[in-house]
Amino acid sequence: MPLANGLPYLAIPGPSVMPERVLRAMHRSSPNIYDPEQGELAAALAKDLRELAGTPDHVAIYIGNGHAAWEAANANMFSRGDKALLVSCGHFGQSWAGHARAMGIEVEVLDCGRSAAADPERLEEVLRADKSHHIKAVLTTHVDTASGVKNDIPALRAAIDAAGHPALFAVDCIASMGCDEYRMKEWGVDVTVAASQKGLMTPPGMAFVWFSDKAAALKSDLSTPYWDWQMRAKPKDFWHYWHGTPPTHHMAGLAEALQMILRDEGLSKVWARHDALAQAVWTAFDAWGQGNADIRLNVADPAARARSVTAGRIGAKDATRLRKWVEANAGLTLGIGLGMQSEADPNADGALRVGHMGHVNAHQTLGALAVMDMGLKALDIPHGAGAIDAVTRHLARLVGPAGL
C-alpha cells in the first residue's frame, strides 16, 4: 500500500523547494518593462546579491542557468589560448573545465578525487611550477554537488598567495550560495558564480557572476555583447542590466527570496539552519552504516562536507532501489548518484544524494530521513538500528529549549 499521496517532497540538489511567498510574488501580470520601477528593482537585486556573496564590488545578472554562469565567467576572464587551472572535486568541476576547453581555453585539471577537499599544498606546488605565470585563473567549486565535497576557499586562496602567483581566483557557488558560509571579499575571491534555483529558492533561469576590481580590469576576446559583464554591472538604464527584456517574474521571485534570506531570517541563521540539517543527514548515515559497511557518507571529513547536499553510498544497486521505493511509496524524491563511479564502486547505482538546500526545515529533513529508514526496512537492506532516534537526539541537543 503506497503512502505517497499528499505533499510531495523534492529533496534533490536543485531545483529546490520554492516558498509560497516566492511563488505568490511571481503570480502577477506582465509589468511595463519601461516603467522606472523595473530599473529600481534590478538595482535593488544587485545590492542584495552583493550583500549575499559578501562583496561591495560588482555583480552581473544573466538570464540563464548555472552553465550560463560558467560561460559568462569564462568569456570575461579569458581570451582564446589563455590557460586555466581547474581544481576539481567531482563531476561539476570537470564539467566547468569541459566548457572552458570548448571555448578555446587551455585547461589543466588538478584532480582532487571525489571524496575529499582540494589539497592546498598540491595547488601551491602546481602554481610554483608555473614560473612564467601562464595560468590566468584558478577555478574551483565551493561545493561540488555531485560528490558533496566542500572546499576550504580561504585555504586555497592562501595557497595561491604562498606561491606568489598572480592568477585570478574563481569559485562556483551554485550549490552553496545562501546555504554555506561564504565571504567573497574577505576570502580574496575574484570571481564567484551562482544561479537562482538552489539555495536561492527561485525557479531556474537566473545566473549571477560577481567580480572584483582586479577581474573587472581584464580585457578578453571571448566576451561578446550579451555576455560582457561590464555593462551589466554598471548599467546606464534597465536595458543594460539585461541586454533585452528583463526576466520580470524571476526578478519578483528573487526579490522575495532575498528578503527572506537577508532580512527576515538573516544570513548567519540561514547558514546555521543548513549546518544543523546537514548534521541530521550525516547522523542518520552514520547510524545506518553501523549495520552495513556499504552504507556510508561519500566524504569522511565533516569539515569537507557540503551543508546543502549530502552524497552517500547505500551499496551496489540498493541506492537506486531505495530511491525508487521512497518516491513511489512515500512521495519523497532523492537525487541520483552523479559521477560517483569509482574503481571500488564502478556502479553509480550505489550512490544517492539528499538535497537539504533553501526552503527546508526540520520536519522536511526528518521526514526524508524517516522515510529512507522505512525504505531500508521494507526492502530488507541491512542497516544499523536507531538512526531516527540518533537524529532527533542530535537535533534536540543542537536546537535546545530556546532555539538555534
Residues lying near ligand PLP in the complex (CB under 6 A): 14, 65-67, 92, 141, 143-145, 172, 174-175, 195, 204
Q: How many CB atoms lie within 10 A of CB 375?
A: 25
- Of 82 and 172, nearer to ligand PLP (C-beta) is 172
Answer yes or no: are the C-beta atoms of 336 and 349 closer than 8 Å: no
Angle at 170 between CA 167 and CA 175, to 5 degrees: 160
Question: What residues pair up with 192 in beta bridges, in sequence order?
Answer: 171, 210
For residue 244, how many C-alpha atoms fall within 13 Å in the half-sphere facing its CB? Answer: 6
- Of 280 and 338, nearer to ligand PLP (C-beta) is 338
Answer yes or no: are the C-beta atoms of 131 and 169 closer than 8 Å: no
Minimum CB–partner distance for residue 309 and ligand PLP (Å): 8
Minimum CB–partner distance for residue 403 and ligand PLP (Å): 30
Minimum CB–partner distance for residue 172 and ligand PLP (Å): 5
Q: State CA 142 to chain mean position distance.
A: 7
- Of 149 and 388, nearer to ligand PLP (C-beta) is 149
Minimum CB–partner distance for residue 372 and ligand PLP (Å): 22
Minimum CB–partner distance for residue 67 and ligand PLP (Å): 4
Answer yes or no: are the C-beta atoms of 165 and 174 closer than 8 Å: no
Distance (Å, rounded) from C-alpha 404 to C-alpha 398?
7
- Of 144 and 349, nearer to ligand PLP (C-beta) is 144
- Of 90 and 246, nearer to ligand PLP (C-beta) is 90
Minimum CB–partner distance for residue 330 and ligand PLP (Å): 25
Minimum CB–partner distance for residue 16 and ligand PLP (Å): 10
Angle at 371 between CA 368 and CA 375, to 5 degrees: 135
Residue nearest to ligand PLP (CB): 66
- Of 141 and 365, nearer to ligand PLP (C-beta) is 141
Q: Is the sign of the CA dihedral 235, 241, 243, 244 positive or negative?
A: negative
The residue among 170, 199, 197, 171 whose CA lies nearest residue 309 is 199
Minimum CB–partner distance for residue 274 and ligand PLP (Å): 14
End-to-end CA distance of the chain: 38
Minimum CB–partner distance for residue 135 and ligand PLP (Å): 21
- E strands, 319-383, where? 332-336, 351-355
- Of 249 and 353, nearer to ligand PLP (C-beta) is 353
Cis before residue 15, ω within 30 degrees of 0?
yes
Distance (Å, rounded) from C-alpha 80 to C-alpha 258?
36
Answer yes or no: are the C-beta atoms of 372 and 33 closer than 8 Å: no
- Of 70 and 242, nearer to ligand PLP (C-beta) is 70
Question: What residues pair up with 108 in beta bridges, in sequence order?
Answer: 85
- Of 86 and 371, nearer to ligand PLP (C-beta) is 86
Distance (Å, rounded) from C-alpha 106 to C-alpha 129?
17
